[in-house]
Amino acid sequence: MHLYTLTSADGHVESYTDRKRYWWMLSLVNPLIPLLGVGGHLFSANELWLVVPLLLMFVLGPLFDWLFGEDENNPPEVLVPQLEDDRYYRILTYLTVPLHYITFLCVAVWVGTQSLSWWGFLTLTVAVGFADGFAINTGHELGHKRTKIETWLAKIVLAVPAYGHFWIEHNRGHHRDVATPQDPASARMGESIYKFARREIPGAFHRAWMIEHERLCRKGVPVWSLHNEVLQSYLITIVLQVGLIAAFGWIMLPFLLVHNFFSWWVLTSANYIEHYGLLRATQADGKFERCQPHHSWNANHKYSNLLLFHLQRHSDHHANPTRRYQSLRHFEDLPSLPSGYYGMYIIAYFPSLWFKMLDPRLLALPHINGDLSKINIDPDAKQHIYAKYGE
């Protein structure tokens, strides 16, 4: 196991071993999960195997999070530069990019060449949609970095879930507006995920396009050109998806529509739970206060964090967006979720259960302490929430 050490001027030696170092390889397993279904079906000729990937994600995922528990370990701050320079961690993010392509194409070939039952087709397509939704997570980690190779890999991997505008939308839009009522990617208290999705999906696209439009106008280059960083990624998507239709015929159309929808839905689900109800205060000058760690929900669960490049240590990410995944920190007294994202996704899909579990947690946060004026509330739910929780 690699040991990081630093001797300070007064002779004090600080050392750190990342106990999760090799466990991070689990992030390479995540994109491959749908292939387990395809492989099982191939060797056993039993279509029930196609259901396995979804079970692995949404039954085994929450179960493992519960079983393996949480991790509150942080690297010492003085060793973070060494940890960030360690190329091993970077290589793992690079490798997930081709893995997402391999899984997507293998499943497409399987769907395009086998006569699957309707439920086999649907479960496998939904599973690969979810797996490729997590390609947005890879694109997220890569897209926040400053090196050319990482930003390009972000655009390349975002072509698989057909979400090319994410890079701009997330970095330049969501991070700027996070935890404010004007952010389409921050959910409001009392807003169900189904209502949120109708605001988030079009709102995110519109914001990305406006930001890129403004940048290209400043540069004096045409918006409809290869300079457009939204279109660059979508161009790869078009080649990929039109190519599949040409190769395997119209069966690819429902496959791609369902796949793309569920990939987008993964992001919608993450956005929904990451900032639910949290609100940045308005300063005297009318601007929102800077994003603080208590403006994001966190999960410290080991298993799902290893699969998702520490995405769930979301507070540190929003306060320090360029920090690499291996050095994101846990902080005490932050908004924390009872399970990792896999479990929270399922809860979010049942709005009454979600409200029942999360609303009291939100109100109990130390910086809110029952004060409804410090919460980002859905205007349509305001009356009901004030009647229920108001003094």
Q: Nearest approach, Cβ of 334 to another protein (angstroms)?
A: 17
Which amino acid is located at 89 in the chain?
Answer: Y
Pick between residue 222 and residue 249 the one whose CB is nearest to another protein: 222
Among 319, 328, 337, 365, binds another protein (CB under 8 A): 319
Q: Residue 280 carries which DSSP code? A: P
For another protein, what does the binding mask look like between residues 108 and 127, x meaning CB under 8 A? --------------------
Pick between residue 195 and residue 215 the one whose CB is nearest to another protein: 215
Q: Residue 283 carries which DSSP code? A: P
Number of H helices, E strands in the chain: 19, 2
Q: Nearest approach, Cβ of 336 to another protein (angstroms)?
A: 22
Task: Output the CA torsion 303→304→305→306 (10° steps).
Answer: 60
Q: Nearest approach, Cβ of 343 to another protein (angstroms)?
A: 29
For another protein, what does the binding mask look like between residues 142 and 181, x meaning CB under 8 A? ----x------------------------xx--xx-----
216 lies in the site for another protein, by CB under 8 A: yes
Half-sphere exposure at residue 30, Cβ-oriented, CA atoms within 13 angstroms: 31
Q: How far apart are CA 30 and CA 33, in angstroms?
A: 6
Q: Name the nearest CA neighbour of 273 among 297, 295, 294.
A: 297
Among the listed ranges 157-165, 214-222, 251-259, 360-368, the one in contact with another protein (CB under 8 A) is 214-222
Among 199, 320, 361, 367, binds another protein (CB under 8 A): 320
Pick between residue 221 and residue 353 the one whose CB is nearest to another protein: 221
Pick between residue 177 and residue 200 the one whose CB is nearest to another protein: 177
Q: Nearest approach, Cβ of 226 to another protein (angstroms)?
A: 14
The answer to whether residues 15 and 83 touch, using CB atoms and an 8 Å cutoff, is no
Q: How far apart are CA 97 and CA 373, in angstroms?
A: 43
Among 46, 117, 282, 322, binds another protein (CB under 8 A): 322
Which 3 state secondary structure label does DSSP give 381? helix
Extract the tokens encoding 96. 């997930």
What length is written for the chain? 391
318 lies in the site for another protein, by CB under 8 A: yes
Q: Nearest approach, Cβ of 164 to another protein (angstroms)?
A: 17
Pick between residue 213 and residue 384 the one whose CB is nearest to another protein: 213
| DSSP-assigned states of every residue in 34-88 | HHHHHHHHHHH--GGGGGHHHHIIIIIHHHHHHHH-B------GGGHHHHHH-HH
338 lies in the site for another protein, by CB under 8 A: no
Residues forming contacts to another protein in the complex (CB under 8 A) are 146, 171-172, 175-176, 215-220, 287, 290-291, 318-322
